Amino acid sequence: MQSLALGWRLLSRAIVSGIHNEFQLKPRAKVKGPVQFVTGCSGFSKSVSKTPNFKNWSFGDDAYFVAKNTSYDVIGVADGVGGWRNYGIDPAAFPRTLMNICERVVVEDRLNLSSPVKVIEASYQELLEQKTPLIGSSTACIVALNREERRVYSANLGDSGFLIIRDGEVVHRSEEQQHYFNTPFQLAVAPPSQQGLVLSDSPSMADSSSFPVEEGDVIMLGTDGLFDNLSEDMLLRHISQLQDPQPESVQQTASCIAEEAHLLSFDENYLSPFALSAIDMGIDFIGGKPDDITVVIAKITSFSDSI
């Protein structure tokens, strides 16, 4: 009798726990919310004396932009090719106009930014639609964050580039595009006399990539003036000091990085990354590389944490 009661108790307990398990809610998979960029920009012109006459978004012959539309946060840089100065052309005009047009294209929101190459293509075409006869060339690198998807899409033409840094290490980087040493891929509009004689790469030559991002990731976008003077280790050290996603802190980090790069670029005894690759090519060179420096830091934070 007792065993029967025990058996019954066990059975009923099993049934009840079984029913209980059926109705127990499975823990829901946590849906990750949208993210956004918090950006800081800094840089130095190579020639200290020149004061830029453009209101914003340029350092020397470098230019950059920061923009957003309904789905994307976008940053971009363009490095103007200085050789045009010899032809009496201001090398800064082309990259500045290009970046301004990119900003317009992003804000007008007519293109699908999951393919930022299209932004470069569209901006290059719009550049040709200007009444002003623009001449010059530059690299172009654009990184677009889809806030809902938590994914960055990038397009890079030339030797500007970006790193994605997570937990103190580089998890993704752009590919440099060069024809030969110190001659990057570049978008160009040549003067009529030089048609066909000037290096001019099509926007479709740009390298594309996409990468998923997390809160806390840092994207560092810069021109070659930055990466030629600071090694990745030095950059990681700066980023590790960026603790919070406040705009002031991000801006501070960007300024520190730009300043160190600027100082080292004039150091004649410093074994810069540029010197190292020169030596690799068999060129006997030591010291920093004086160049225009532009750095754009974008820290990924949750969208709701907007300040």
Partner 1 sequence: MADNAIARDKITETNKPGTTSKAVLISRFSKEVTDFSSQYGSETSISYTVSNLAGRSNIFPAYGDFTQAAVFRTYGPWWKNVTSSPRKFKRTPPNFISDDYVELSFDLDVYPCKIEVWETYNPGSVVRILACDTASGTDVDDGRVRWQVLWEGQPEKCPDKSRIFSPTLREPLFKTSLIRLELCSTLCHYYTELDCVCMYGTLNPCSDMQAILKQAPTFEVKDCSDADEIVSQTLKYINTLSVSSHQESLDENKDPGHLPRETTDVKQEQVTPTEVTNDETFFEEDPEMGNGYFDDLPDEVIQLILSYLDVPALCVASRACMLMKKHCYDTLQYTELNLQPHWPQINNHTLQCLKSRCHHLQQLNLSWCGGNRGIMQSMTFGNFMKECGSELNTLYLANCKFVDSEVLRLLSEYCPKLADLDLQSCMGLDGIGLIHLTKLKGLKRLNLYRTHVDIHSLIAIIRTSPNLECLNLGSCSRINNFDEVAIELSKHCKKLKSLDFWRSRTITDVGLRALAYNCPDLEELDLGWCPELRSGSCCYLDLVDRCHKIKKLYLTANRTVCDDDLNAIASNCPDLEQLDILGTRQVSEESVLRILQSCPRMIMFDVSFCFSIEHEVVNEWSRIFPNCSIKKSFQQ
Q: Applying CB under 8 A, which residues contact partner 1?
A: 104-105, 108, 110, 125-126, 128-133, 135, 191-192, 195
- For the CB of residue 57, give the shortest distance to partner 1 in the complex, in Å: 16
Question: Is the CB of 21 or the CB of 132 nearer to partner 1?
Answer: 132
The DSSP result for 207-222, as a single string, is EEEEEE--TT-EEEEE
Question: Is the CB of 93 or the CB of 218 nearer to partner 1?
Answer: 93
Question: Is the CB of 170 or the CB of 188 nearer to partner 1?
Answer: 188
Q: What angle do CA 41, 66, 162 make, to 5 degrees?
A: 65
Question: Is the CB of 103 or the CB of 292 nearer to partner 1?
Answer: 103
Question: Is the CB of 191 or the CB of 290 nearer to partner 1?
Answer: 191
Of 95, 155, 78, the closest CA to residue 121 belongs to 155
| Cβ burial 60-84 (10 Å sphere, 16+ → b, else e) | bbbbbbbbbbebbbbbbbbbbbeeb
What residue ranges in the chain does DSSP mark as E strands?
Answer: 35-44, 58-59, 62-68, 72-79, 136-138, 140-146, 151-157, 161-166, 169-173, 178-180, 183-184, 187-189, 207-212, 218-222, 293-302
Looking at the chain, how many residues does it have? 307
- For the CB of residue 133, give the shortest distance to partner 1 in the complex, in Å: 5
The DSSP result for 174-217, as a single string, is PPP-EEETTEE--EEE--GGGTTTS----GGG-EEEEEE--TT-
- For the CB of residue 116, give the shortest distance to partner 1 in the complex, in Å: 17
- For the CB of residue 107, give the shortest distance to partner 1 in the complex, in Å: 9
Token pair 């082309």 is found at 94
Question: Is the CB of 110 or the CB of 179 nearer to partner 1?
Answer: 110
- For the CB of residue 184, give the shortest distance to partner 1 in the complex, in Å: 25
Question: Is the CB of 109 or the CB of 267 nearer to partner 1?
Answer: 109
Tokens at 10, concatenated:
């066990």
- For the CB of residue 56, give the shortest distance to partner 1 in the complex, in Å: 15
Of 238, 237, 227, the closest CA to residue 273 belongs to 227
- For the CB of residue 127, give the shortest distance to partner 1 in the complex, in Å: 9
Q: Are 63 and 80 in contact (CB under 8 A)?
A: yes
